[in-house]
Amino acid sequence: MDAHPSHFAQIYSVYAHVPFCFHKCHYCDFYSLAEPRGDASRHQPFARALLGELGALSESYRLEPTTVFVGGGTPTLMGADVWSSLLYDLQSLLDRSKLQEFTVEANPETVTEDLASVLVDGGVDRFSLGAQSFQPDLLKALERWHDPASVGRSVGILRKAGVSRLNLDMIFAIPGQTLEDLDRDLEAVLALEPDHVSCYGLTYEPNTPLTTKLRLGRVDRADEELERAMYERVMERLGAAGFEHYEISNWARPGQRCLHNMAYWENRDWLGVGPSAASHVGGRRWKNEAHLGRYLEGCPEPPVVDVEELNAAQRRGEQLMLRLRLIEGAPLPWLDALLPDGDWRWGEIKMLISMGLLERTGTHVRLTRAGLFVGDDVVARLL
């Protein structure tokens, strides 16, 4: 099946995947290639390929995004010179008249004043920093290579460059982590005054070194009770500090939700560029192959895999599953319009309500507190 729908669809969000890291963290299953520091030989060719891919897509889609998100990988491993030409050329490819948010993910070790000013001058207005923990032994347990002090240093550089919108990515239930460790991490997060925090329980993804170590008995996985207590602590602490808990794993200051991720949860149309990036337009999904060499060879039309056209019932399931990730849940009129009478999901919703995992308020169906702890499993049952 051809990936691209024939109509000239409007695209709300664009994701670009940068597949370079200076080291592969042991828990990570994102597509990225560890390359020695200082080896930037593939960065410029990659940036040109990315622009080429976007240029080709602009023939089939109206690229007027409200959000752009550059993730990876480590986008900030590309130097200021590469970013400068990338952002300059992007101006002629993307209509920015509707752009509300332009996020770049950053590894704290890679943020410099030069790079920050190039990114901000080029229109980037939000950064997402991978902090994960502020304790060296816990970062070591993840084989995550950065000095915790570099997070504060990066925040300072970004603020000085004029950035006000900052997310910190955190992980809990790290092997060896105690509740007191988590308290210290949350204190460190709050001291940096981000306007958004993403906080995930550690997942053991297949085919990662961490999962191999678990199988070999070389790491102690946090037990379920401790993981629940940690999630509870994150909710309490961030809530008390004035953050709105708006998605299972995401918290924001009022008005500071990540609009790009909201587009995913609201199941809007987005295009992904770069190796391994996924796209979703009009119920059709596909992914670029996760292979940098073939990506560079194939651009401007890189190899695509997993092309899937969802039927109406699958689309309903997907929309419901995504919407229920939001803490406010699914509005009742939206739900009534989405699910026809007799759809099996009504029965499933009823059962999940009777189990205390979902609840019906006056206006919405949403996850309960108990449902939040197993949120991924609950929403998956409605797919």
Closest CA to 309 of 338, 280, 330: 280
200 to 213, 318, 350: CA distances (angstroms): 20, 22, 28
At its nearest, how many Å lie between ligand SF4 and the CB of residue 25?
3
| Length of the chain counted residue by residue | 383
Q: How many helices (H) and strands (E) does the chain have?
A: 15, 17
Nearer to ligand SF4, 36 or 362 (CB): 36
Q: How far is the CB of 50 from ligand SF4 (least distance, A)?
A: 17
CB of 299 to ligand SF4, least distance (A): 21
Q: Smallest gap, in angstroms, from Cβ of residue 284 to ligand SF4?
A: 27
Report the C-alpha gap between 76 and 94 in whole angstroms.
Answer: 21
**Residue 344 token pair:** 């099996």
Is residue 273 within 8 A of residue 57, CB to CB? The reply is yes
Please name the residue that has the structure tokens 């925040």: 155
For residue 26, give the nearest of 142, 176, 133, 148 by alpha carbon: 142
Shortest CB 8 distance to ligand SF4, Å: 33
Q: From the CB of residue 171, how many other CB atoms can be counted at a distance below 10 Å? A: 22
Nearer to ligand SF4, 30 or 204 (CB): 30
Respond yes or no on whether the N-terminal peptide bond of residue 300 is cis (omega within 30° of 0). yes
State the minimum distance, in angstroms, from the CB of residue 207 to ligand SF4: 13
Using CA atoms of 344, 346, 348, 351 in order, give the dihedral in degrees to the nearest 10. -140
* Interacting residues with ligand SF4 (CB under 6 A): 21, 24-25, 28, 30, 32, 72-74, 107, 130
Q: Closest residue to ligand SF4, Cβ-based?
A: 28
Q: How far is Cα 258 from Cα 207, in angstroms, rounded to an integer?
A: 29
- Choose among 120, 241, 237: nearest CA to 185: 237
User: C-beta of 165: minimal distance to ligand SF4 in Å?
Assistant: 20
Of the pair 46, 61, the CB lying nearest ligand SF4 is at: 46
Considering the complex, state which of residue 20 and residue 373 has its C-beta at the smaller distance from ligand SF4.
20
The smaller minimum CB distance to ligand SF4, of residues 130 and 194, is found at 130
Of 30 and 334, CB closest to ligand SF4: 30
Shortest spacing between CB 158 and ligand SF4, in angstroms: 17
Which CB sits closer to ligand SF4, 23 or 345? Answer: 23
Nearest residue (CB) to ligand SF4, 72 versus 272: 72
**CA–CA dist 192, 167 (Å, integer):** 10
- DSSP annotation of 50 reads H
